[in-house]
Amino acid sequence: MLTTKNLPGSPIWLDLGSPDLPATVAFYTELFGWSHHTMEGADYGSFQQDGKTVAAVGKLTEEGAGPAWIVYFRSTDAHAGAKAVEQAGGAVRMVPQEIGPDGWIAQFSDPAGAQFAIWQPVGGSGLELVTEPGSLCWAELYTPSAEDARAFYRSVFDWSFEDMAMGGMNYTVVTPPGGGADDSMAGIVPMPGVPPHWLPYFEVRDCDAAVAKAQALGGAVALAAESVEGVGRFATLTDPHGVRFAVMTSSG
């Protein structure tokens, strides 16, 4: 279960690069009931749920890049992390940069092309709410080869993995180093033919209602809602700019 303990290697931040900030902010605030707070003098701001930061959004600035949610994993050393990514066959999209008093960030692509980032926090605390309605509850990697992905991310983050059968396929559950049975925070899905990407899941009180609302706001359904016993009901959606994300009503 995703928590705010911010263990090294676990999700600590989440942001979205948008080609149209007002439209993006309007969609997500209406869908999840978030409030939006812009940083002074910047095309970047946070989304909050009940006064707690749950995500961020900024103007898309990277030339040739498409809009997408980017998951940031906690790092204890951003420069060493960048070196580990390169040595494991990944690509550095943004070299480690200091972000004021909050630490260091860097952005990468894994060997299959899935984009992700790291944040080495100093003064920043990261996401303030997870697993509750309106916040990040899970992350999932879609990749051509789960075996190759495991080798790469183990080398970079020292993650541990556990396989489980789900819907006729082998699903890999990810736990950060030092985490216990309750600290799993992501999954790996072997999906040849689909562009490799990390998919954020947001907890909602009613999955089907969230799907209907997203469609009414101009979003679309990428994968229809389904239920998995002991897990919950979830669906994959796209926002009006085609950005993929998922909503989930967890069991229990």
Which of 219, 222, 221 is CA-nearest to residue 240? 219
Which of 189, 157, 154 is CA-nearest to residue 170? 189
Residue 26 and residue 49: Cα distance in Å, rounded?
15
Residue 140 and residue 99: Cα distance in Å, rounded?
27
Q: For 176, how many CA atoms within 13 A lie in the half-sphere containing its CB?
A: 19
Q: Edge-to-edge strands of the sheet including 35-38? A: 35-38, 44-49, 52-59, 11-18, 68-74, 115-121, 103-109, 91-98
Write the class of the CATH domain 1-252: alpha beta
Take residue 86 and report the two structure tokens written for it.
């390169």
pLDDT of residue 41: 67
Share of the chain above pLDDT 70, in %: 98
Annotated domain spans of the chain: 1-252
What are the residue ranges in the chain where pLDDT is below 50? none
Residue-wise pLDDT for 158-204, tens only, equals 999 999 877 677 899 999 998 887 899 999 999 988 999 999 999 99
pTM: 0.95
Give the three-state DSSP class for 160.
Answer: strand
Which of 154, 212, 190 is CA-nearest to residue 31? 212
